[in-house]
Chains A and B, each alone.
Chain A
């Protein structure tokens, strides 16, 4: 009987235990499990720190793969006369389709380029729509919004240049009914870009303290606006904007080649520069592959060897122009930083402007992940100023601005790069365009610059470029399919 009692107690214990579990499990809270390691969005956008994080995400996304690597090479460089695929012949041979203008709407790089820009635009819109509701320092809040408006304008600029009319999203979609929107006429997109840049320029400071170096400045907004206006041939505006930037204290770095090395990041010449770094222990934050994809192939610390200079580019430099050796790494030479380039290799030339000395490579990280990407340099501001002055009939100012660029390139050697003196508008125009070609070579400017100049057929025609078609790339087929036909294809594709 004693035993039985013990068993009874045990059974009682079990029953109690069971009941406990039952009562536990019936509580609603047992089922209300919060998302793990991904906080719900309703807890976000509450503090200044959230606003800061949101802005940071937009900055960081500017150097993500689709924004600086293969997709820009395909859409913003391959079509030009200055670069070709490179690498091994069969590695990513789809790049050739962009070089020969045979790329179709299903090419992966086209949808990558598109998606990359819209992902960046979403990050900006998150800030623009959510940060106004946060109670925080009003000045900082305004600056945050101005910074991302610039980034959004930059993304739309690249989209409208590559595709023409594109869906314009200036706010987050409220619900599913706003996911599928048609293409907005490009004039409206240009206007939206200008509005964003005006808003940005009105708020952003001219410079930051050391801790905030690298954030978007007023100068960047004005210069970007000038470039946007240049594409629309608003020459008076370009002139006014560049004149304004030229009073802001920028100057050219004396040594052209050194301007692109790490020691000259955020230099006096830097107007808009995407900030990249090797972040210790954080390879995801060190995710820029800009230098890696273009780096010397087959060398540790080099890279994949895509987007290599063409002979046409090498030949475009005037005799003795030091920018040739500062733009192109030739096979079999030794770089100014002391890296020997193997004499045998897949490609005879590589992009010097994206080059990071091989010894700076960290195992487990992307080669050259620390290289900042110079998007707008003061040299381009001067060249835009020169072009706008020339287009508005002010040859003297055009020559003066142009000469500043040539003088730096000359590096004190008066035997080379003679001063351009012609005041003939069309001759001067050609001289300025040529200067853009060599000064901005391999900086992802040339392709759309030539199209803007109206010389697409003349310069790219021999490799297949056709007017009234190749001014823009096709809209990604996936996107048209997903829109159930709401999005239309560009003519000729």
Chain B
């Protein structure tokens, strides 16, 4: 503590005399443009070499800098090659920067700072904000899909939902496997509050040496987001907007009414149920197309406006965003309003103060989450409405219990609205002193509130869809997070030696709270009635919960380079998280990295094949705080289900007890990563490439594993350090950019990742960890995690064929089977089919992910085509057998099913939902590989001649298509399934895949 006080004091002292320390020289003016397009570049860093003195170009690309007449000025800009120009007494310098041709010359954002890509010894990928906002994704991270090697993005399809992101494979099992997002220095676990068009750039930190500086939160990788800041110059106004629609693509065709009735009759035959349900299936014709009835082409529009400007003393960027998106389900709608304001002051030389605040308000009219499964099961023989206008009722067709509803009634009587308020931001002060020191202090955080209101009325639609009481449900949840950080940086060059030293300290607090309440029979004449107190006194219900974690950290890093040839980086972070209080509190997480810039060696001078070439290697440790809170503290459970009933009037009596066991101690879950990379460019910087081999292990992974049920815990599990996991892989990316000065320019980039996920050790010894029960009947579990195999591998029986007749069954290993049932392979040959015959059926963790990103410019036209895909992955199609009774089937099932001796040896009979047939088996495991056109966009920029008349800087019109083409073999809706680690890839939610088509405009005044 004392030391930090001393440092603070020092900061103040230095502050005084640094101001007086500068002499004035000549004034250099100039303009910076893009060498290939001639566009002016705004915000280019213009710095005197070997100092921290500098400025940025304004909105016209212009800069003014006082410099010694013999100085060298360095121009650097993200996405462009850095240029150094000797002043030589010139007072006017016009600079043309080459677009990020030389990868190594780029400036990239890294943890707690920026570095030239040349100096980076870890694996860091950068994406420009414009590459993200160009797409019609409402979530910035969705737009990263296919853009970065090693980054796997799984979009669930539901509007407003955040995608699942993994960097270099799945390294943890418990709970949140998400990456850490650092937005302008503030830490978040989700950035759906951020409007993609507010993003200036994104850095994806992939290897442990890059992420290690984020310590306990870095286990699953770190994504740094820098939002747009103000730029010096005259006021610029930008407007971006688009409108279009979203439409279901690659739908699964369900059986029509006649096919359905035929199948149900077959089901009755197999079950020996008489009489058959439908005397004449053909009389139903094609029946109701439930998907067509409930889904629609959904409208979507988005408007963003931003104002940017500033002076020498202060800059600002103010933006407003509005998104209005309909869901694919009728009535579903999402509106988002965002505002963001960034303001930076330079009150006196060497002192910078600033803040960024962002606000979000969203409101949505929600869709019933259960409706997709209802649509899948809904019987096509049931009409939407009868002739008299009343709802078609499955019970009138004797369809029995189970999942058989009229989805139209579900839609009509579902009334649920949500609102979100979210304020995020940070403030900072940065002081440069003694020429080489920078002290920065920041404070940031998030204040969020989510509200939901649901009203379920008194209604009678069908026998199974009715209620005699109405229910009002109100929910509130709060988020209050803050982070305070102080860093001190020392940056100096001694001849050929360049050194940067960073020391820092952080304190963080994360608190969340929710409360949900319901009351019965609240009137509903207007929203003004939506108060619990207007409902019945009896039957009110309240529940709440929350979480609180804190963390304290200290960290330091040294970057050293010699002659821009030899690089050495090392860091150490000490983290204490309240999760581990009372256990092993402090985690010390070190990293080292080294690099060799081969192209700067003398022996490379005479070759002109490689424009740049660097070999680098790194090693680091990270931790995972995404673990259960206080895992070693035994707690009391006062679950409402422990309420006892006593007395003649049956009154409720609160119960509570201890229903868990905890480990005596727990170690921090650590990730250890090694990375070896080669990067460079050839063909005069036109073709750049980067290749990485990585090995990433997770030690002491913390999660719950089953414990003997006789111990009597409620969860049946115990938390502990259970396993070691390894992800090993190879990444390659390359980009070709034409350097033509003509009318036609293009770039073609590709990236490719191979990842192998493997469990290398489990504490439970040989005992596998079974999971994956969602959408699977009879408590059967479809995944297994075991040493030597990937996390959550599908596990079950291997289908050898279909029993064609009784004689095949008699004497077989499945004597109770019926013709049309799966014939399972008797793996151990004991002539009994039981749990011992189960085998590995497929890996839900993709082995290959890839993306191809291209752009073409011809005169004023531009075309963007992005492709993306995964391969070497399996999906478990749980929908097929997730049946309670007479639900519908797919048309594919109808066409291929067994319905008599010799009709099929691959598909079972209509009794596919029986326990024997629904047991996890190879029939349900399908390839999850897909390839898609992720984005296709055609733009036209109005010629300058017209624009100058209109006094506008830029007008661009474009048409965009997202997911217009998807190629996959999977028989469900979408092979992009996701799910928690040991439950991943099990498709039981049936959310349809959609394509989005939009038309829009970008305008700059």
Residues of A in contact with B (beta carbons under 8 Å apart): 3-4, 7-8, 10-12, 14-15, 17-19, 21-26, 30-33, 35-44, 50, 52-61, 64, 87-94, 96-97, 100, 102, 104-109, 111-112, 114-115, 118-123, 125-127, 166-167, 169, 173, 175-176, 179-181, 210-215, 265-266, 275-277, 279-285, 287, 297-300, 304-305, 344-346, 362-364, 370, 476-479, 481-484
Contacts and interface: CB of A to CB of B under 8 A. Distances in A.
Given A14-B429, A37-B546, 6 more contacts: A18-B441, A36-B629, A104-B834, A122-B711, A300-B463, A305-B401
B471 A90 contact: no
Contact of A31 (B581, B648, B834, B911): B581
Chain A to chain B: the 6 pairs with minimum beta-carbon distance, closest first = A122-B712, A108-B779, A25-B507, A56-B655, A285-B643, A284-B640
Interface string B620-636: 00000000011001111
Interface in B360-402: 395, 398, 400-402
B546 A211 contact: no
A11 B401 contact: no
Interface stretch (B80-88, B113-121, B346-354): B346-354
Nearest to A37: B545
27 contacts: A3-B347, A4-B348, A7-B347, A14-B429, A18-B441, A30-B550, A31-B581, A35-B633, A56-B654, A88-B884, A88-B885, A89-B267, A91-B401, A105-B834, A114-B709, A122-B659, A123-B659, A279-B643, A279-B645, A282-B541, A284-B639, A284-B643, A346-B401, A362-B469, A363-B467, A370-B650, A484-B767
B646 A213 contact: yes
Contact of A284 (B641, B656, B707, B713): B641
A3 B401 CA distance: 78
A119 B714 contact: yes
B629 A482 contact: no
B486 A297 contact: no
Contacts of A61: 641-642
Interface stretch (B1-9, B293-301, B733-741, B945-953): B1-9
Most buried by B among A17, A181, A364: A364
B435 to A, nearest CB: 18
A173 B711 contact: yes
Nearest to B646: A214
Contacts of B816: 97, 100, 102
Contacts of A346: 400-401
B540 interface: yes
A32 B12 CA distance: 33
Interface in B913-939: 913-916
Interface in B546-588: 546-552, 576-578, 581-582, 585
B28 interface: no
Contact of A53 (B646, B655, B883): B655
B746 interface: no
Contacts of A107: 778
Most buried by B among A10, A38, A215: A38
B642 A106 contact: no
Contact of B518 (A3, A97, A166, A281): A281
Given A277-B645, A305-B401, A36 B1 contact: no
Contact of A175 (B348, B351, B654, B664): B664
Given A276-B645, A277-B652, A304-B401, A53 B664 contact: no
Contacts of B466: 300
B611 to A, nearest CB: 45
A106 B638 contact: no
A473 to B, nearest CB: 14
Nearest to B580: A31
A33 B653 contact: no
Interface in B486-526: 486, 505, 507, 518
Nearest to A180: B708
B732 to A, nearest CB: 42
Given A106-B835, A346-B401, A169 B710 contact: yes
B647 A90 contact: no
A248 B264 CA distance: 57
B431 A11 contact: yes
Contacts of A167: 710
Nearest to A478: B706
B666 interface: no
A213 B540 CA distance: 25
A93 B914 contact: yes
B712 A123 contact: yes
Interface string B721-751: 0000000000000000000000000000000
A280 B535 CA distance: 13
B550 A59 contact: no
A87 B467 CA distance: 23
B712 A119 contact: yes
Given A11-B12, A56-B642, A90-B884, A36 B647 contact: no
A479 B636 contact: no
B26 interface: no
A11 B835 contact: no
A41 B648 contact: no
Nearest to B19: A4
B709 A179 contact: no
A40 B636 contact: yes
Nearest to B663: A176
Interface in B334-350: 347-348
Contacts of A118: 709-712
Contacts of B541: 281-283
A53 B656 CA distance: 5
Contacts of B640: 282, 284-285
Contacts of A94: 777-778, 915
B799 interface: no
Contact of A483 (B429, B708, B780): B708
Contacts of A297: 400-401
Interface in B694-715: 706-714
A481 B765 CA distance: 11
B637 interface: yes
